[in-house]
Every structure is written in C-alpha cells, then in structure tokens.
Structure 1
Amino acid sequence: MSLLVAPALTALLVAVQPGTAHAADPTLMTNGFYVDPASSAQRWVDANRGDGRAPAIQASIANVPMARWFGNWSGAIGTATGAYTGAAAAAGKLPVLVAYNIPNRDICAGQSGGGAGSAADYRSWIAAFASGIGNRPAVVVLEPDSLGDESCMTPAQISERNALLSDAIAQFATKAPNTWVYLDAGNPGWLSADTMARHLAAAGVSGAHGFSLNVSNYLTTAENTAYGNAVNAALKSTKGFTKPYVIDTSRNGNGSNGAWCNAAGRRIGTPTQWGGGAEMLLWIKAPGESDGNCGVGAGSTAGQFLPEVAYKMIYGY
C-alpha cells in the first residue's frame, strides 16, 4: 500500500464509501506523514541558527516526520491533541502521537517516572485525548514502557494497568474511529516473544490496530522484525490472531551497544516510512532528546533536547 494516494481517488473513496472500512484507514485519508513544526529539534534550530550544528540537525532530524509525545505536561489534553491533529489534517498529512501518562509510568526504571495520579484521572485523560482527535486521521502509540517490565509491580497494579490499557483502546475505537492505535510491546531485549504476547493479550491488544516495538531503544530493524513476527506467532497459537506492528527506527542506525539510556555512539535510522519490514517504520523517540540523567546525557532530564548528542547521532560517533 502506498501513502501517496491521489487526492481525486481519496475524494472518490470518501464519496462512495462514507463511514465504511476506508474511513478506519488513516493512510487513505492522508498523503505522507506530518512533520512536527514545533519538535524539540526544530525549536532548537530556530533558536540557534548561527550554531554550526544547526544545518545538519535541520536536514537530518528536524525535517523528518516524527511523533509528538503527550502527557501531564500537555495542558488540556483534548485541546492539545485536537490542535495537533487539526494542523496535520489541514496539511493533508498523517500525524503520529504518543500517549504517555499511565499511572506509575516507567515504574521499574524510573527515568521517566510520573503519569496520571490515579486510575480515574487516567481514564478521563485518555478519553479526552481520543475526543480531541475525533474523526481526523492519526496514528497513536499507546503508553511506551507499560508492558515491558512488570517485575516490580504487584498483581493488583498489573491488573489495574491492563484494565486501563484495554479501556484506552476502547476509547479510541469509539471517539477516534480514524486512528490506528499501536499498543507498545517493548523491544527484543526486554522480554521473550511468548511473554510479551501474553502481556499484550491481557492488555487488550485484540481491540487495537497493532503493537509498537523498539520505542526509545536502539535495536536493529531486523532484530525487531524477527521479534515482531515471533510475538505474532505466539498470539496466533494462543489467541488465534495476529496484528500489524511498527518499529521505532529513530536511533537504531547502527544497532545497540547493550545500553538503553543515552547510549554513546548510536546513529539515526531509516526515516519514517510505510513498510520496510513492518507496517511502518516510525521515528517515535526524537533523536537528541535525553532518556534521563545517564550515559552521554548525564546531567540532563528525560525529554531535554541535547544538540551535541543529536549532532553526533547524525554521524554515528
């Protein structure tokens, strides 16, 4: 399938099939991916035009379509998601959003801790997130880290999290019918494919469009493709279905060195595109944004844009 659908053909599909299967496919309603005009890389370039690193960061990072993350820093969440998807729709492009506000977020690693204060708060937040998108086309990556490590969680916390994720998927299905939701499934270095398949099933992936892999990590596209296929094999054998998956390729250009937190010497990967071994290859974690106070980002906080890290990531050193 190509994202480059002729406008006339799209209009015909809309006219002939209002509210039918086509309407649930956001790629048929758009022509390519949306470039965030206010990404952290773009904001840094705009403020530092005289910096010698700015041209490379503009060309190789800021100009690439990537996800915008939404959490408890986003203000009125329905207003925020509505404005972002509205701008993308006006441009005829497909936006990628990340919902990152689950209670006890990043509970085991702690670098990106936080999230909604309670289950009730999260239910309200995610409902407003979906309502803000409405009928506009979008892709949503749902709660990175949420299923990758349950080792420090109690059974009650796990049960609550699964219920919240299942509810979130249902909210998108009813309130944002032209959104493809990918429930995050960690990466190949975290859990076995069989274990992840069990986690996904328990969290309601059957109701989502698919699952996402390698968010904020560095493992190669080939490693993730093998893992995604193995997860699907496990889902097929135990639950009778498979799901499309997407891979975060923003920082996997030369693979992993075994570290996950601001690893040195990593390189940007294949730019956002349709296909490439998965349903989509997406830049979900923005290159140059810190993973936390660790590695080559020592002294920074998670999400802070580090121009020197970004610049080195372009060239792989």
Structure 2
Amino acid sequence: MRGVGMANPYEVCGEFHVLTDTQAHRWCTTEFRAGRTTTERWVVWDKVAAVPQAKWVGPAPIAPQIAGILETAGETGALPVFVAYAIPFRDAGGASSGGFRSVKEYQAWAKSFARLVGAAPAVVLLEPDTLIHMPGLNAEQRRNRLSCLAFAVQAFKQHAPNTYVYLDGGDGRYNSPESLAPWLLQAGVADARGFAVNVSNYNTTGTCESFAVELRDLLGLPDVGFVVDTSRNGNGPPPDSYIRANPSTWWGNPPGRKLGDRPQYLGDANGFDAKLWVKLPGESDGPFGVAPHSSSSEFLPRVAHELYYGR
C-alpha cells in the first residue's frame, strides 16, 4: 500500500504553501499598483489570494510550471499541492478539454513531473474527473485512460517517494461508491495515497465524507486516505430547483455559492487526510451561471467577491 514506510508530507511541512502566481494574486497586485482601495480588492486579496490553493499543471513544459513553487515551498517548509491535469481527451471534450494527444506523450510528461518533484514533500491530485467520465467512454478510451493513470501512480511511487497521490474519487453526491471502486482499483489506487472528492464541486463536507468513507470501505484497502475540495462548498450545492432548471450546466458558476473551510490537515481521521482548496475560487467554470460570457478558468473578481459573502 502506498504511504507505508514513507514520510507523511503533511506532518513534515506543517502548513500549506500559498501560491503567488494565481490570477487572483496578480489581479490584486495590479489593483494595488493602480491605487484602488475597494472592498472587492480586499476580499479577493485577504480571503482568496492569501489562502493556500492547488497549482493546476497542464501539458505545457513542466519545469516552468512547478520548479519555482518547489523552491519557494522548500525554503519556507510549506507543503505544495499540485493538480496533474493533462490526460488525453481531458474533461471528455467538455469546457476544460485539452491534454495530450497520446498515451505515450502523457506517460513521458508524468514521469518528468514525478522526477522534478523528486524527494520534496508534496501532494498531487491526479487528473480530476477522469474516472467519473468512464461510463461515457468507449473501450479504447477507457484502456488509454487507465494506462495513463496507472503509469503516473507508479512514476510518483518510484521517483517522488514523499508525495501523496490522490486519484479521482468523484463529486461525493452524483457518483456512487459502487461505480467508482472498480475504476479506482484498476487505476492503481493501491499504490497511491488514496482519492480526492468534490474537486471543483459544491457538495458539503459532511456529504463528501460519508461518501468517501463508504468508497474507502468498498476498496478494501485499510490504509487508503482521501481529501475533500472545500474551496466553494460553504453553502453546499445549488438548490434542486436551480439544478432542474439547468440540468446540463448547473455546475457552472451557480449563484449563491460560498467559500468553504480553509485548507487543513486532519491527521488521518477515519481516512480523511485533509481539506484542500483545489478549484481556485473566482476562476470560471465556463460560460454558464452568473458568468455567461466567461471562458473556463478565466478569473472574475466579482465572482470571487460574491463567494466570500455567499450570494
């Protein structure tokens, strides 16, 4: 089981690394230089930009994306959190489509990623949404996806011994533990730390924990752990009436959502390793909801501001 006989990165570091290259941080820096003093700017700076968040790493050259973070985190003794997000047919061609074109390209990238992290303590969430999309893929796409995930797990196990790797564990509400457990096992969860729940979603922490504990039991791996994305789940998901009115896009920038609990290591309580901010608050889900003219991952200070107040 991955995690036995290795350093626990949460305990080695004690605190999470705060990114200084997020869109929220850059927006605030620009506004400071312009001399503006608005409540919006204060909220974005203090309640979003200053909170530890995950660095999403795509298929571009790997070193420029993470080398500086590793160096800074090493100097301060903080724990960096990365999201590997470059798998072929990413997001099943949805709003966040992209990634590499072949399994071979992806595997080379994953190996480089793991080697670059090396012995540094780190957390890596491996390809959110990959396993929840499996039912809609054809047989070849499924094989390719599992090959990519299993290879990446082994690459980090071999080259990054102090990294905790978490596979896609679903949203905690609309995916059943019974459907995800077989895919997790085939993707190599036995050699990873565990799985991540609620990435870029809104489900309450309690709902996600109940789901994750059931999924953990089904896996039959007593040492497996899980993390929950709490970045935008402070008010839970949008009401059922909104979901019914927007059945295919309700997850995209729904109104009335709120920032959730700040990142926190929980000390492996019943397998619940940590609460993390994985989705960066204020970055759009695409041209939906309260941001109909935005593009996926575009930073919208108004949306970040509203997430603080929950309106």
The one of 91, 97, 102 aligned to 1:118: 102
Query: 2:285 is matched with which residue?
Result: 291
8 Å CA contact 1:85, 1:137 repeated in 2: no
TM-score (norm 1): 0.88
Letter in 1 for 2:68: A
1:70-112 alpha-carbon deviations (Å, 9 max, x no partner)? 002xx4203432322121111110000000000000016x010
Query: 1:197 is matched with which residue?
Result: 181
8 Å CA contact 1:88, 1:95 repeated in 2: yes
> Are 2:300 and 1:306 equivalent residues in the alignment?
yes
Matched residues, percent identical? 38
Query: 2:87 is matched with which residue?
Result: 102
Letter in 1 for 2:264: Q
Aligned residues: 292
Letter in 2 for 1:85: L
Query: 1:6 is matched with which residue?
Result: none
Give the distance between the partners of 2:136 and 2:51, measured in 1 at CA: 36
1:254 to partner: Cα distance? 0.5
After superposition, residues 32-51 of structure 1 pair within 5 angstroms as 32-49=15-32, 50=36
> Are 2:250 and 1:269 equivalent residues in the alignment?
no
The one of 125, 132, 137 aligned to 1:153: 137
Q: CA RMSD in A?
A: 1.7
> CA, structure 1 residues 260+51, in 2 after alignment: closer, same or farther (shift >3 Å)?
farther
Runs of at least 4 residues of structure 1 off by over 3 A? 20-23
After superposition, residues 46-125 of structure 1 pair within 5 angstroms as 46-49=29-32, 50=36, 52=38, 53-72=40-59, 75-107=60-92, 110-125=94-109
The one of 225, 233, 240 aligned to 1:244: 225
Query: 1:11 is matched with which residue?
Result: none
Gaps of 5+ in 2: 244-249
The one of 187, 192, 202 aligned to 2:171: 187
Give the distance between the partners of 1:144 and 1:192, measured in 2 at CA: 16
Query: 2:246 is matched with which residue?
Result: none
Letter in 2 for 1:134: G
Which SS does the other structure have where 1:247 is aligned? strand
TM-score (norm 2): 0.90
Which SS does the other structure have where 2:228 is aligned? strand
Gaps of 5+ in 1: 1-19
Give the distance between the partners of 2:259 and 2:96, measured in 1 at CA: 22
Give the distance between the partners of 1:170 and 1:312, measured in 2 at CA: 41
1:131-160 alpha-carbon deviations (Å, 9 max, x no partner)? 111111100000011011223310111011
8 Å CA contact 1:148, 1:190 repeated in 2: no
